[in-house]
Structure 1
Amino acid sequence: MVRRSAIPPGLGVGVTTLHQELLHRNNFHTSSTRSWEAVSGIGWHEPTPSGLPLAAVRTLSVVIPAHNVGYCLSSVLDALEGQHHRYRFEVIVVDDASTDTTAAVAAVHPIVTTVLRIPERAGAATARNLGTALARGQTVLYLDGDMVLPPHVITDFTARATDTTVLVGFRHNLPYDLHQGGRGVLADHPHLAADHRVVWRPPVGRPLLYTGITLDKRFDGRPLDDTHDFLDLGYGRRYVDWDLPRMVVTALVAVPRTAVLNVGGFDPEFGRIGWGMEDTYLGACLIASGLLVIPLRQAVGFHLDPPDADQQWQRKLASWPGTLARYWDLMRRPAPTSRSRSFTADMTDLLRSCEVLR
C-alpha cells in the first residue's frame, strides 16, 4: 500500500521543484534511532526516565500559538510546569488576537517566559513564526494551545533532538469536559491509537482530502505501523492519502530552529486563506533540506476539543480547498533555502506591531 506519489499537474517543467526534490530524499532513520538507544540504554519509544543522565541535551523553546483557548490554556501550561525535565526550557505563547482570556491566562502563568499579542488575527503560521524568531533554544517544540502533555514528553524530545531530525509526537482528541477538572490531571493516559496517523479508517465513496483518491471499499489503515515508523515514506512514496510531509503535524513536533529559519519558516499565506497545510508545507521544506522525520510513539498528548468542536471542524473543512491549492502551488516552486536573513527581517518588522505582555 506504500506507493510513489504521482506528480501533480504542472510540476516538473524547467526547474527542480520542491516536489521533485522530495523524490530524491530518503527517510532512513534506523541508524539514528539505534545509535541513540545504544548510548542511552533505553528504547527510542520508551518514556525517558527523569533521572537519565543526558550529557548533550539540547536547549529547548516551546512555542504555543494561541487563539481563543482560554478554556483550556491553564491545563496546557500546568502540564508543562509539571514536566520531569531536569533542565530549564522557555515557553513562548503568541496570542493571535484572541477575544477571550487567552492572553491574560498566559501572562500570569509561572511557566511562561514570553507572551506576545498580535493585534489583528494573522493565523497560526504567523504566530509560530513570531515565536520561532523570539526563541533562543536550539530545538523548537511547536505545541498547540489545547495540547496537554504527560510529564515525560519534554525530556523525550530534548533527549533525542538533533540538527538533522524532525521529531513527531501524536494527539488523542478528548472533549474538554472529560478532562478531570481541566487542571492538567489526566483521567487516563492518552492513547497512541487515537491519532489518525496510527489508526485510520477513511471514508468510502468520497474523495480523500489530500490526494483526491476515492476508495470503493472499507480500508483499515495503520499508517505508522505499515510504513515502519515512516521509514518507507522516503523518495516521495505515499500510503494512500498520507505521505511524509503530511506526517509533520505541529500539534506536537520538534524541529531544529536553524533549519526552520533556513527555509523561511511557515508560509503565512495559509493563515490568511483558512485552515491547514502550513505544517505539511514546512515538513516538505525540511525534508527537502535533508532532515529525517522520526516518530516518538510515547509522546502522545491530550488534544482538548472546545465545546463547539463540530462547528469549528466544519469551518476548517470549508477552507481546505484553498489551503490545499496553495500547498500544491508552492510544491511547484523551487525548495526554499538560505532565507534566515529575510525571515529575521520580516519578523523584526512584524514584532514592532505586537504587544509584549511578558
Structure 2
Amino acid sequence: MTRGKPRITRIVVGAVLLSMLVGVLLVEAYVNAEFHPDHTGGPGAHASVPREVTEGGAIIDTRGGTVHTYRMPPKTIALTFDDGPDPMWTPRIAAVLRRHGVNATFFVVGTQVTRHTGIVADLAAEGNEIGIHSFTHPRLEELPAWQRDLEYSQTQLAVVRATGKKSALLRLPYSSSANAIDDANWPLINEAGRLGYLSIMTDTDSRDWSRPGVDAIVRGATPEGDAGSIVLLHDAGGDRAQTVAALDRFIPLMRSRGYTFTTVSDALVKVFDGRPVSAETPATPDDQRRALALVTAVSVADWVLDTLGVLFLVVGLLTIARTIALFLLAGRHARRRRARNWAWGPPVHLPVSVVVPAYNEKEGIEAAVRSLAGGDHPGGIEVVVVDDGSTDDTAALVEAMRLPNVRVVRIPNGGKPNALNVGVALAKHDIIVMVDGDTVFEPDSVRHLVQPFADPSVGAVAGNVKVGNRNSIVARWQHIEYVIGFNLDRRLYDILRCMPTIPGAIGAFRREALQDIGGISHDTLAEDTDATMALCRSGWRVVYEERARAWTEAPSTLRQLWLQRYRWSYGTMQAMWKHRRSLVDGGPSGRFGRVGLPFIAFFGIALPLLAPLIDVLLVYGLFFSGWMVTAGLWLAMLAMQFLTAVVAFRLDKEKLRPLWVLPLQQFVYRQLMYLVLIQSLGTALTGARLRWHKLHRAGSAGASANLPPPPPPPPVPRGVAKVGRE
C-alpha cells in the first residue's frame, strides 16, 4: 500500500464522494416528499381572521401591511389548476384549453417544475399564467418561517428556469375558499404579503380530486347565478381523465351562458378598471444562475437515485442468480462426491512433498509442521520449510523439532512466489502440496488432498480451508465467509471447470502442471489466483476436495482484515487483467476466459461492490419512502442470504450457531469489504504499487480443530547429525 500523499488523497476523494452521495440522497428525499391531495384537513377557528377576508373575494392582497380582497367580475371565470405539472395530464389539459382558445392559471409545485421545465415553458408561451404552489407541497403552517420562505423561493427559481419570469401569485397548499381561512393559515397569508405575493383562493371547487364523475365535476365548478369565479381544478396528483373530459364540456357550457374565460391577473386588470397588475416580473441574471443550479441539482439527484435503483435491481438479479447457481451446482457437487460409488480412480499412494514458505512464522510454524509431518498418507510425506529471510526464530524452531521427514532451507528474503519456487525445485516428489506457514492440517488432509490425481487430467487440487480462531466476532464473520463465499463457491467452480483460486493455505499440484505454467509467478500479489488461472488456461483441470481440511488463522482485528483483503482484492484484479486475453482465446484458455472471468467479475467484484447499495437504499427508504416495502425487500434479501448460509453450512457439516452474527455482518463486514474493493479498484486504476503486508499471528490456527495431541519428538542418536538443514 502506498503511503503519504497518495493515500491521503484517496481518503479525501472517498470522503468527498461519500459526502456528495449523502447530499444527493438528501436532495432527492426533499424533492420526493409525498403530499396529500388539497382536500385533506378542515378549517379551524377564525378568531384572528378579519371579516372582510372571510366575507370577501378570493384574491387577497396583504402587501404593504394592509388588507384588500377582490372578487372576480361578473360572468368571468378564471380556470386554475393545482399540483402540476404532470407529464401526462398537463399537456392534455393544455390541449383542451388551446382547442377552445382559453388561457388558465397554473399553480405549480416546484419539484415538478424542475423535472418538467419544458411543459411549464410551453404553458407560458401559449399565454397561460404560472403561479406558486410551494416546492414540496407541505403543510406550511407546520414549518418554520425560514423553511416556508425556502418553499416559495425555490419554486420561484424553478419557474424562472422554465419561463424567465417571477410570479407574484401564490396559492397555499391545502387552501380553498376565503371563508375557510382560519387562525392557522391567516398568518401565512400575511407573511406571503410581506414577501410580495398575492394570495389566490377559490370561489368554486370542482372536487375533481375525488374523481366523482364528469357531471359532478362540471356541477362543482359552475358558479351560482352570474357570479364570477376562480375555479379550482387539478392537472396532477392522480388520474385526471375526468378533469380533461369535464373541462371539454365546461368551457362551451359556460360560454353558452355568456361567460368569458381569463387568467387571474387579467381579471384583476378588469377589477382595477384597466390599471396594469404586476403579476410577474422579468428574472435577473442572478435569478437565472440560481435557477440553473437548482434544476441541475434536482436533475443530478434524480439521475443518481435512478441509477441506484438500476444498480439495486442488478444486485438483486446477481444475488438471485448466484443463489440459484449455488443451490443447483453446489448441491450437485456434494451429492456426486458423497455418493458411495464415487472415486477419482485407483487410490493414490505416491509420495508427496509439502512446501511451506515461511517468513517470521514463529507463532504457528511448529504446529503447522508437526501436523504436516504427522499426516497419515501411506505414500509418505516430505516437508520442505523454506525460510524466506525470517528475522525471528522460525527456522531454528523447525530444526529443533528434529522431525526426520522435515527439511529446512534458508534463503534471502525474496517474497512468497520465490520461496515456493525454491521449495518446488528442492522437492523430491512429483506431487507437491503448498501450505502457508500459519496453517494446521488434519491427519488425513494430505491423503484426501492428493486422491484426485488418480485422474490424469487433474493438474491441481484446492482443499477446504477452515477458520481456526473463532473467538472474536471478526473471526466469526470470516468463518461464515469461508464457508459460504469460498468453499461453497469452489463447488460451483469445480462443476463449471473454471476454478479461479487454489487457496494458499492448502493446495496440491502436479510438478508437470507447474512446469507448464512456468512455476509460481511474481507478477501479482495473488500468486495463488494467478497460478490457478494459468493452469485452467493451459488445459489442466482444477478440482475441489472438501475432505482435505486445513485450519488457518484468520485476522482477528479489522485493521489486519483490511490489509489482508486489500492485498487479495488487488491481487485478484491484477490476475484478471493479466489473463484478460483468455476472453478472446480458443480452446481451454477461451473457455476459462468466457466462463471463469465473468463469474469472478460479476460475483467476486461487482456483487460485493454493489451489495452495500441495499443498505444505502434501506436507510433512504426507511426515512424517506415507504418503510414497510423497504424493510420487506431488505428482509427478503437477508432471508435469501441466510438460506444460502444454511445450505453452505450443512454441506460443509458445520454447526449453525455462528450464523447469529449474519445480520450484523450485513451492516459492518460487508461495508468493510466494499471499502476494501473500492480502495483496491482505485489502486489498480491509478497504477499505484501495493506492498506485501505481513499479518500478526498468534498461533491459534488449530484452536477449533479436533487434532490429536502432538507426538513427542524422536531422540537424536549419538553421533548422528540433525536431519534437514541445507
TM category, shorter: 0.5 to 0.7
Match of 2:546 in 1: 297
Q: Could you tell me which amino acid in structure 1 is paired with residue 484 of structure 2? A: V
CA contact (8 A) 1:149 1:301 kept: yes
Residue 114 in structure 1 maps to residue 407 in structure 2: yes
> Could you report, residue by residue, the CA deviation over 1:332-357 in whole angstroms, capped at 9, with x for unpaired residues?
4689xxxxxxxxxxxxxxxxxxxx93
Larger strand percent: 1
Q: Using the alignment, how far apart are the partners of 2:447 and 2:566 within structure 1? A: 38
Range with greater deviation from structure 2 (165-174 or 322-331): 322-331
Q: Could you tell me which amino acid in structure 1 is paired with residue 489 of structure 2? A: P
Once the two structures are TM-superposed, the CA of residue 257 in structure 1 deviates from its matched residue by 0.8
CA contact (8 A) 1:197 1:223 kept: no
* 5+ long unaligned stretches in structure 2: 1-320, 324-331, 586-723
Q: Using the alignment, how far apart are the partners of 1:88 and 1:268 within structure 2? A: 31
Once the two structures are TM-superposed, the CA of residue 116 in structure 1 deviates from its matched residue by 1.5
Once the two structures are TM-superposed, the CA of residue 159 in structure 1 deviates from its matched residue by 3.3
Q: Using the alignment, how far apart are the partners of 1:171 and 1:321 within structure 2? A: 18
In structure 2, the CA distance between the partners of 1:333 and 1:125, relative to structure 1 (3 Å rule), is: farther
Local SS of the residue matching 2:356: strand
Once the two structures are TM-superposed, the CA of residue 131 in structure 1 deviates from its matched residue by 0.7
Match of 2:351 in 1: 59
Q: Using the alignment, how far apart are the partners of 1:77 and 1:176 within structure 2? A: 22
Local SS of the residue matching 2:519: coil
Q: How does 1:252-271 map to 2 (within 5 A)?
A: 252-270=506-524
Q: Using the alignment, how far apart are the partners of 2:383 and 2:437 within structure 1? A: 12
Q: Could you tell me which amino acid in structure 2 is paired with residue 280 of structure 1? A: T
Once the two structures are TM-superposed, the CA of residue 316 in structure 1 deviates from its matched residue by 3.3
Aligned with 1:132 (options 407, 424, 428): 424
Once the two structures are TM-superposed, the CA of residue 118 in structure 1 deviates from its matched residue by 2.3
CA contact (8 A) 2:349 2:377 kept: no
Q: Using the alignment, how far apart are the partners of 2:523 and 2:435 within structure 1? A: 20
Q: Using the alignment, how far apart are the partners of 1:101 and 1:230 within structure 2? A: 39
Q: Could you tell me which amino acid in structure 2 is paired with residue 357 of structure 1? A: R
Q: Using the alignment, how far apart are the partners of 2:564 and 2:519 within structure 1? A: 22
Range with greater deviation from structure 2 (153-162 or 91-100): 153-162
Q: Scaled by the length of structure 2, what TM-score is found? A: 0.31
In structure 2, the CA distance between the partners of 1:297 and 1:66, relative to structure 1 (3 Å rule), is: same
Aligned with 1:175 (options 464, 469, 474): 469
CA contact (8 A) 2:381 2:405 kept: no
Match of 1:164 in 2: 457
> Could you report, residue by residue, the CA deviation over 1:4-42 in whole angstroms, capped at 9, with x for unpaired residues?
xxxxxxxxxxxxxxxxxxxxxxxxxx9xx98x999xx77
Q: Could you tell me which amino acid in structure 2 is paired with residue 223 of structure 1? A: D
Larger helix percent: 2
Residue 330 in structure 1 maps to residue 596 in structure 2: no
Match of 1:230 in 2: 494
Q: Could you tell me which amino acid in structure 1 is paired with residue 500 of structure 2? A: P
CA contact (8 A) 1:116 1:357 kept: yes
Once the two structures are TM-superposed, the CA of residue 317 in structure 1 deviates from its matched residue by 4.0
Structure having greater relative contact order (Cα 8 Å, sep ≥ 6)? 1
Q: Could you tell me which amino acid in structure 2 is paired with residue 259 of structure 1? A: A
CA contact (8 A) 1:170 1:195 kept: no
Aligned with 1:312 (options 557, 560, 575): 560
> Could you report, residue by residue, the CA deviation over 1:28-59 in whole angstroms, capped at 9, with x for unpaired residues?
xx9xx98x999xx77559xxxxxxxx765222
Local SS of the residue matching 1:200: helix
Q: Using the alignment, how far apart are the partners of 2:421 and 2:385 within structure 1? A: 12
Residue 357 in structure 1 maps to residue 606 in structure 2: no
> Could you report, residue by residue, the CA deviation over 1:74-99 in whole angstroms, capped at 9, with x for unpaired residues?
11112123322223221111112212
Match of 2:205 in 1: none
Q: Using the alignment, how far apart are the partners of 1:320 and 1:169 within structure 2? A: 18
Q: Scaled by the length of structure 1, what TM-score is found? A: 0.59
Q: Using the alignment, how far apart are the partners of 1:324 and 1:283 within structure 2? A: 11
Q: Using the alignment, how far apart are the partners of 1:145 and 1:230 within structure 2? A: 26
Q: Could you tell me which amino acid in structure 2 is paired with residue 118 of structure 1? A: I
Once the two structures are TM-superposed, the CA of residue 169 in structure 1 deviates from its matched residue by 0.4
Q: Using the alignment, how far apart are the partners of 2:422 and 2:573 within structure 1? A: 25
CA contact (8 A) 1:67 1:97 kept: yes
In structure 2, the CA distance between the partners of 1:327 and 1:200, relative to structure 1 (3 Å rule), is: closer
Q: Could you tell me which amino acid in structure 2 is paired with residue 125 of structure 1? A: P
Once the two structures are TM-superposed, the CA of residue 253 in structure 1 deviates from its matched residue by 0.8
In structure 2, the CA distance between the partners of 1:312 and 1:123, relative to structure 1 (3 Å rule), is: farther
Q: Could you tell me which amino acid in structure 2 is paired with residue 245 of structure 1? A: P
Q: Using the alignment, how far apart are the partners of 2:536 and 2:480 within structure 1? A: 22
> Could you report, residue by residue, the CA deviation over 1:271-316 in whole angstroms, capped at 9, with x for unpaired residues?
xxxx4x2111100111111111211111111113477x64433333
In structure 2, the CA distance between the partners of 1:297 and 1:98, relative to structure 1 (3 Å rule), is: same
Q: Could you tell me which amino acid in structure 1 is paired with residue 576 of structure 2? A: W
Once the two structures are TM-superposed, the CA of residue 68 in structure 1 deviates from its matched residue by 1.4
Match of 2:589 in 1: none
Q: Could you tell me which amino acid in structure 2 is paired with residue 73 of structure 1? A: I
Q: How does 1:63-212 map to 2 (within 5 A)?
A: 63-109=355-401, 110-120=403-413, 122-162=414-454, 163-165=456-458, 166-175=460-469, 194=479, 196=481, 198-200=483-485
In structure 2, the CA distance between the partners of 1:177 and 1:65, relative to structure 1 (3 Å rule), is: farther
Q: Using the alignment, how far apart are the partners of 1:176 and 1:98 within structure 2? A: 28
CA contact (8 A) 1:150 1:300 kept: yes
What percent identity do the matched residue pairs reach? 25
Once the two structures are TM-superposed, the CA of residue 324 in structure 1 deviates from its matched residue by 4.1
Residue 250 in structure 1 maps to residue 498 in structure 2: no
CA radius of gyration, larger in: 2
RMSD: 3.8
Q: Could you tell me which amino acid in structure 1 is paired with residue 545 of structure 2? A: L
